[in-house]
Amino acid sequence: MAIRMIYVYEFLVIFTLGLVATILFYNDIFFPILISVGIFTIVSILLLRRFLDNQIGFLTLMTWIVYAFPFIHIVPYLWFDFIYEDPLLLWGLAINPYMVDEQVIILTAMIGAVGGLGFIFGAALDNRKILPSINLDAYTKLKLNNSLAMPIWIIWVVIGISLSWLSAPQDVIFTAKYTTSISDLQNSNFSSAWLISYVILAFAFSDAILDCNRSRKKNKKLIIFFSIVFVVIYLQLLRGDRESLPFVLGVMLVYFYWAKGLTQLNQQKKFPWAILGISIISLFVISMVVGSVRSLLADISNIDDILYLFNDLKDSNIISISNLLSGTWSGALLTPLSVAGDYIYGLLPLKLGKTYLDLFASLPPGFIADIIGYVRPIDASRGPAYEMRYGMGGTHAVVVPFMNFQIIGVIAILIIFGYMITRYEKKSLKKINVYNLSSMCTIVTVLPHWMWYGEKNIINALIILFILSIMHKISLLFSNPIKI
């Protein structure tokens, strides 16, 4: 009862803060940076407590972390001297006027913080606990899951690898600079091929760990393990791409967390947090190193050249602990900064939902649009990302809501995001099956693209999931008569 009352008080405080923020915004009064940073901290603590109390799952927590991470660059502004400091770089990026404009930074921080209030409010709308039974009675649950016959399963894996191969740059970073090597699908307007390949592999992986046939399960797990290693290392990291790293995290969460009662961990009482923590840190460091060196290795001809390269990177401070604060997320923060500055200077037109209509009108895949001669309002060459005064491609999750409905839109859309993610994860964990595990893995895979590059990425992911779920059911129909 006491815990329930605590959650009620939290709910009221979050609602009040959101209401106050809205009233202040429309009176041109913004939260001080300290208050916004404090809200980020409080939301993080409350979400972590909800996670530990089993009120939310790892998917909700991961969504918040990815959403909030770009705003880590707001913290140094607590002691930044806007009058006298004149840096050449901030956030690891070349400076622009909005970066050193105090009012712009204050509003940028407030927009992010208000979005955080909306997210936790949405997550709090579903206070039902995640059922502990998801990790019990593994044998019964396994019997409820049909698995693909080996030949059909192999076809899924081959298609997944093939799409990864076709969407990857043709050359490894030792033979051509990252920016100069193109993929076989570069000119086909099939930009989602990489995501389709990972969703296919997610289905194959989930099918493998839920297979009731022990010998077939063993073979599937061995094949899918080496397939994922091949895709991640050879087709991704060695070609300078990092899109596969969230997919790796998603696969690990499926195996060690969401389906832990159905894997070899079913006898363990404790979840291996150390393994997951070390893995996340490793993926983070790998991402940073690959991003730093991927355009510099083409001229390497021997071991000495590699040693000289890393010494130069170390001396130039490109690879260092301090640079862990800057990365792809730094460019993502440019877009809230851009709309905040444009709002303050009266340069931001209010779209009143037009962007969301454009998103709906842009649902047809690019290659289909090309065939029928349809010009999508949002694609690789047009859309919100091209309306940013400052940006490096894509838009952060708060940008489109703010462009269309200002602060009310930020609160409302993030409430929807928070509720949908929380509700979806809880619903998925009530019944562990191939589709539910694959869908959660897919959402983790696309999280950075969704939160940092725009809503179209999650829409594409959901469409791909829907189509592949139908294909999986058809594959099961063909598998049932086949005895392998």
CA-angle at 177, arms to 300 and 454, nearest 5° = 140
The residue among 373 and 303 whose pLDDT is bigger is: 373
Report whether pLDDT(61) > 60: yes
The pLDDT, as a whole number, for residue 170 is 66
The pLDDT, as a whole number, for residue 140 is 45
Comparing CA positions, the residue from 337, 249, 281 lying closest to residue 63 is 249
DSSP β-ladder status, 93-94 and 89-90: antiparallel
The first and second tokens of residue 268, run together, are: 């363990």
Q: Which residues contact residue 394 at a Cβ distance below 8 angstroms, ignoring those fewer than 6 apart?
A: 332, 335, 385, 449, 452, 453, 454
pLDDT confidence bin for 288, thresholds 50/70/90: low
Report whether pLDDT(62) > 80: yes
- Taking CA atoms, 313 is separated from 242, 319, 327, 381, in Å, by 20, 6, 16, 34
Distance separating alpha carbons of residues 171 and 311, to the nearest angstrom: 25
CA-angle at 139, arms to 138 and 144, nearest 5° = 95
Report whether pLDDT(358) > 70: yes
Distance separating alpha carbons of residues 120 and 51, to the nearest angstrom: 12
Distance separating alpha carbons of residues 339 and 257, to the nearest angstrom: 38
Looking at residue 31, its amino acid is: F
Report whether pLDDT(52) > 50: yes
Q: Which residues contact residue 268 at a Cβ distance below 8 angstroms, ignoring those fewer than 6 apart?
A: 260
% of the chain surpassing 90 pLDDT = 39
The pLDDT, as a whole number, for residue 187 is 63
User: Phi and psi dihedrals of 382, rounded to 5?
Assistant: -155, 155
For the entire predicted model, the pTM comes to 0.86
Q: Which residues contact residue 190 at a Cβ distance below 8 angstroms, ignoring those fewer than 6 apart?
A: 167, 365, 366, 367
Distance separating alpha carbons of residues 279 and 404, to the nearest angstrom: 39
407-455 residue pLDDT tens: 999 999 999 999 999 999 988 888 888 999 999 999 999 999 999 998 8
Domain boundaries of the chain, sorted by first residue:
2-131+334-433, 136-322+444-479
Distance separating alpha carbons of residues 185 and 22, to the nearest angstrom: 46
Q: Which residues contact residue 129 at a Cβ distance below 8 angstroms, ignoring those fewer than 6 apart?
A: 53, 54, 55
The pLDDT, as a whole number, for residue 363 is 77
The pLDDT, as a whole number, for residue 299 is 54
pLDDT confidence bin for 271, thresholds 50/70/90: low
Q: Which residues contact residue 16 at a Cβ distance below 8 angstroms, ignoring those fewer than 6 apart?
A: none
Report whether pLDDT(403) > 70: yes
Comparing CA positions, the residue from 405, 394, 408 lying closest to residue 455 is 394
The pLDDT, as a whole number, for residue 472 is 92
Distance separating alpha carbons of residues 334 and 389, to the nearest angstrom: 9
Consecutive H or E run containing 222: helix 214-229
b/e per residue 157-183 (b: at least 16 CB within 10 A): bebbbebbbbbbbebbbeebbbeebeb
Of 22-31, 250-259, 375-384, which gets the smallest average pLDDT? 375-384
Report whether pLDDT(312) > 60: no
C-alpha dihedral, 93 to 101 to 349 to 113, nearest 10°: 80
Query: Helix, strand, or coil here: 89?
Result: strand
The residue among 260 and 316 whose pLDDT is bigger is: 260
**Which residue bears the tokens 């000119």?**
187
Residue 356 burial (CB < 10 Å; 0-12/13-18/19+)? middle
Task: Please give the mean pLDDT across all residues of the chain.
Answer: 81
159-211 residue pLDDT tens: 999 988 888 776 555 555 555 556 656 666 667 788 999 999 999 999 999 88
